[in-house]
Structures are given as structure tokens and as C-alpha cells.
């Protein structure tokens, strides 16, 4: 389990998926590049526009908690740089399904991922109908194929002699 600064914890837990992660990273990049032109209203607008509500609120709360004034560019820069660093360390679990998962399946999968890989694990879900069923899991470069296609292929490979006559 990775340890994050308590300040960033609510923000990181607010990231639900890979797209949230990408959005947050893009937003941080945007803020850091236009640091000296940002005014209070503009920062809020950027956060509200690009992030979903709970995540935007979490970021705004963290800024408030740190008592960062928007004229203090160095502190803003430091805040977002550290946030960027913490975000880049989040574990990414890539899952490939054969179908688009329902919210219920997504929730169950998310719980499983958080229990297995850590409470801050982020899901990146891909859809590939060719795998027929089951899932392919990739975590930290390790690839595990629990798909139905793989199972069927294995059965065919192991029992080719028995299966083949029934098709001819």
C-alpha cells in the first residue's frame, strides 16, 4: 500500500477511472503552464470545467486547507507539482472485458481491484469482443489472461485429437 500525503488523499481517492486520471493530469499541466496568468475565478473555472464535481471540489478544498493565496505563484506551483507526482505514482490496473460493464459490475470490479492492488488503484477498462468472456488483467507489466477465448484455446490445444473428429 502506497502512502500519500494526507492533503492529497481525498483528491486521489476521488479519481475513479483512467479517464479521470488523464483529465486531472491534463488540468494540472494546463495550470502549471499558465501559472502567472491565473486569477482566482479562472482557476475555479478551469477545475470545474475539466474535472468532475467531487474531484474539483476535493482539489479546491485542498487549496483552501493549505491557505494558498492565488497571488503566491510559488506555492501554487509547488502544490500542483507535488499533486502531479502523487498522481503519476497511482497504480493502474488495466482490465479488458468482452462487453461494456454495467455500473454494478464496475463497482464489484473496482472493489476487487482496491482490495487486491491497494485502495488507490485505478481501473483502465478496455472492451475487446474477441476475448468472448472473462477478463485480461495487466498490473505493473504483468499480463494475466483469464479470458474465455484463452480457456477454449487451451482446451482445443490439449484435446485436439478428441475434438477434431466431431467436426469432420
| DSSP classification of residue 131 | G
Nearer to another protein, 39 or 144 (CB): 144
Q: How far is the CB of 61 from another protein (least distance, A)?
A: 30
Distances (CA, A) of 85 to 7, 12, 43, 144, 148: 13, 11, 20, 28, 38
Q: How far is the CB of 142 from another protein (least distance, A)?
A: 6
| Residue (77 or 82) nearer to another protein, CB | 82
**Closer of 77 and 94 to another protein (Cβ):** 94
Measured from the CB atom, the residue of 28 and 76 that comes closer to another protein is: 28
Interacting residue ranges for another protein, rule: CB under 8 A: 138, 140-145, 150
CB-based contacts of 11, cutoff 8 Å, min separation 6: 24, 55, 58, 59, 62, 83
Residue 135: DSSP 8-state: E
The span from the CA of 87 to the CA of 162, in Å, is 52
Q: Minimum distance from CB of 104 to another protein (Å)?
A: 28
Integer Cα distance of 143 and 95 in angstroms:
10
Smallest separation, CB 89 to another protein (Å): 10
- Do 83 and 8 contact (CB within 8 A), yes or no? yes
Amino acid at each position: 500500500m502506497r502512502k500519500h500525503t494526507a492533503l492529497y488523499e481525498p483528491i486521489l481517492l476521488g479519481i475513479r477511472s483512467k479517464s479521470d486520471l488523464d483529465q486531472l493530469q491534463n488540468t494540472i499541466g494546463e495550470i502549471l503552464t499558465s501559472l502567472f496568468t491565473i486569477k482566482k475565478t479562472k482557476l475555479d473555472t478551469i477545475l470545474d470545467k475539466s474535472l468532475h464535481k467531487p474531484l474539483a471540489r476535493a482539489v479546491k478544498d485542498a487549496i483552501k486547507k493549505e491557505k494558498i493565496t492565488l497571488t503566491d505563484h510559488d506555492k501554487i506551483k509547488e502544490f500542483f507539482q507535488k499533486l502531479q507526482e502523487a498522481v503519476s505514482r497511482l497504480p493502474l490496473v488495466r482490465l479488458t472485458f468482452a462487453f461494456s460493464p454495467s455500473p454494478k459490475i464496475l463497482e464489484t470490479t473496482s472493489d476487487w481491484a482496491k482490495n487486491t492492488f491497494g485502495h488507490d488503484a485505478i481501473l483502465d477498462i478496455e472492451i475487446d469482443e474477441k476475448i468472448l468472456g472473462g477478463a485480461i488483467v495487466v498490473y505493473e507489466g504483468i499480463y494475466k489472461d483469464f479470458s474465455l477465448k484463452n480457456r477454449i484455446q487451451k482446451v482445443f490445444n490439449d484435446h485436439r485429437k478428441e475434438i477434431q473428429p466431431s467436426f469432420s
